[in-house]
Structure 1
Amino acid sequence: MNPKQVVDKKLKKGETGAAESNSGIIIQKWKDKRDVLTLSTKHTDELLIIRSGNNIELQKPAAVVDYNKHKAYIDLSDQMKSYATSLRRGVKWYRKLAIELLIGSALVNAHVLHQEVANEKMSITKFKQEIVNRLLGFDVDQHTHSIFEDHQHSLEDVGTNNRRRCAFCYEKLQRESGRAHAQRKTPRTKLKCTSCEKYFCIECFFQVHKRTK
């Protein structure tokens, strides 16, 4: 429980008060525009002199200075995750969490490592596209091709209101379980092959139009 002599202490702007527990945890209260409470096992209650944007000297607790310094990396990570995000609306929160961790945080970390190791500057969006290409087994020049192109065949998004059954899924289900079952179970897609004039899921499109390397 936080000590009342620190939490309830009345301070003027720039003043501070602190206490340390038997286990080495320091609670510190500092008055800025409003009261700021910090808990730390790393910092003391010392005040550091820093310069503001107006070149004015200010005193701030070491814990606050450290926090302000490192939170910028969190903000940058969140910003990079927002580019070409894979998050979509849904009622199952754990799916969003998994996507956020795998396709969000993990890819941002991988992007940073790639730039450090390969000494190559690359946007996070292009990096994600490269990951998709490698997972699908493609070696595509991103400047001249789309990952959805396959020689004369390419996918066109015709919009949600024009969805049709995936031709490949329908054929497979009809062959296995009959026409009635295929009509009920075939997933609908908004992606249409501009050459075949047929609708396909992304996976089925690449399976039907396999690349020749």
Structure 2
Amino acid sequence: MKDDKQLARGETDWKTSDSGLSIFKWKDKRSVHLLSNYHDPNLYTIVKRKEKNGTSIDVKCPRVLQDYNMSMGFVDKLDQLKTYFEINRQSRKWWHRIFFHFVDVAVVNSYILYRLIGEEITHKDFRRRVIDGLVAEKIVSLKRKRDNSPLEIKKHKPQVSIEVRLDSSAHQPGRGTRRRCAVCSTKINQVRTEWTCTICKVPLCLSKTKTCFQDFHSKA
């Protein structure tokens, strides 16, 4: 193919094989490469491009690129979601980059399917749930200090991941300072208790008449 410097804006270089496979190199601001077994290299369309002075000009563009732009929406969406929180890192081993890429693609696809089930959730919160699910067993097995507990404060209510909260084998009640119960306390009717879960660090009522401690660790 011609070198980038040999192509002016709007020019296309192409080659075809005996089996009808065509490769295109179209020069816009940068070179764009496309491969097709369907499009005729002689078919062109016109696209608008802005110059530095603000004026618009007509630029010739291969038909294959126009069809690609009309049909590539989902591929573009995948790349967009993947770049937000991707785990891809530089590595001396080339296959690491491929592995990281497929992990990111798997998480994005899982997020899309999860939303189709019906629950609305942000991409970041979904990734947090995935992480919680992977490390929940380790978190529960360790008796964390208060500052390092899985507790998060959100809208003045304690929040603990489902994976940690429902793994009840290591959760035990302990006494602490009197705080509002995470289950039954409301702004109108504030209920305070001195009982706290030693794993979740969440205040919960524990008495003959209330089952907040049991409810918190058994109901999703």
* Greater helix share, structure number: 1
Instruction: Output the TM-score relative to the length of structure 2.
Output: 0.46
The TM-score with structure 1 as length reference comes to 0.47
